[in-house]
């Protein structure tokens, strides 16, 4: 079983299907906030839905408006189950905690190659770790 250690984390334990991105993410620049689908032309995950996924993004992008966006997508029932960031910023953390979406930052080892989109993973913020439970 593959285990990834994370540096910082907040939120309850959740399980879900992984969505692994090589590119950063902003809920304002990249996401259609009515469908939960990444729609920015040229994004490596263009066309993918983040709804109910455990989303792995290397970096966070975007400005202050992202803070309300997570609560907005949670309200619309199109939120992911967790955000796993390599490097994030205060806005993402403030927004995720406000929306009650688990969020982590910093990973070892890098999930690229270790976790694939479609794998079933468990995010355990209290133990600062992510486990791959089932391969796609």
Partner 1 sequence: MELTAEERAILAGARGEAARRALQYQVEVGEFWGARRLVPVTGVHMMGDIEVMGDGGLAFLREEAALGARCAVATTTNARCIDFAHRARLGQDASEAQKERELIGCLRAIGVATTDTCINYQTVYQPHFGERVAWGDTGTVIYANSVFGARSNFESGPAALAAALTGRTPEYGFHLDEHRRGTFAVELDAALEDLADWGAVGKLVGEAHQSYWAVPVFHGCRKTPTADELKHLGAALASYGSMAMFHFVGVTPEAPSLEAALGGSTPSERLAVTDRDLAKVYSSYRLGDGDARLVVFSGPQQSLFEMQRLAALFSGRRVAEGSSCFVTTNGAVLAQSRALGYAGALEQAGVTILEGVCFYILQNLSPMRVANRWTNMVSNSAKIVNIIGAHRFNPILRRTADCVEIACSGVLR
Q: Confirm or reject binding of residue 127 to partner 1 (CB under 8 A).
A: no
**Beta-sheet strands, E only, within the chain:** 3-10, 14-20, 31-32, 37-38, 53-59, 82-87, 103-108, 120-124, 129-134
Contact status, residue 46 vs residue 29, Cβ threshold 8 Å: no
Tally Cβ neighbours within 10 Å of residue 77: 9
| Closer Cβ to partner 1, 105 or 119, answer by number | 105
| Closer Cβ to partner 1, 28 or 127, answer by number | 28
Site string for partner 1, 85-104 (x = CB under 8 A): --x-xxx-xxx-xx----x-
Q: Confirm or reject binding of residue 50 to partner 1 (CB under 8 A).
A: no
Q: Confirm or reject binding of residue 109 to partner 1 (CB under 8 A).
A: no
Q: Tell me the C-alpha distance between 76 and 79, whole Å.
A: 8
Contact status, residue 92 vs residue 60, Cβ threshold 8 Å: yes
Does the bond joining 131 to the residue before it have cis omega, within 30 degrees of 0? no
Partners of 10 in beta bridges: 103
Token pair 């983040």: residue: 50
| Closer Cβ to partner 1, 1 or 47, answer by number | 47
> Hey, which residues between 62 and 81 contact partner 1 (CB under 8 A)?
62-69, 71-72, 74-76
> Hey, which residues between 19 and 48 contact partner 1 (CB under 8 A)?
24, 28-30, 33, 40-41
Nearest distance from C-beta of residue 66 to partner 1, angstroms:
7
Footprint of partner 1 (CB under 8 A): 8-10, 24, 28-30, 33, 40-41, 59-69, 71-72, 74-76, 87, 89-91, 93-95, 97-98, 103, 105
């Amino acid at each position: 079983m593959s285990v990834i250690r994370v540096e910082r984390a907040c939120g309850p334990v959740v399980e879900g299907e992984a969505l692994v991105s090589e590119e950063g993410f902003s809920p304002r620049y990249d996401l259609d906030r009515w469908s939960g689908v990444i729609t920015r032309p040229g994004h490596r995950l263009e066309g993918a839905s983040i709804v109910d996924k455990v989303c792995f993004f290397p970096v966070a992008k975007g400005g202050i408006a992202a803070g309300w966006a997570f609560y907005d997508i949670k309200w619309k029932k199109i939120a992911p189950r967790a955000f796993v960031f390599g490097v994030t910023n205060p806005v993402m953390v403030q927004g995720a905690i406000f929306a009650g979406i688990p969020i982590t930052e910093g990973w070892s080892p890098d999930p690229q190659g270790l976790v694939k989109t479609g794998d079933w993973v468990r995010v355990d913020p209290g133990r600062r770790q992510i486990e791959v439970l089932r391969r796609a």
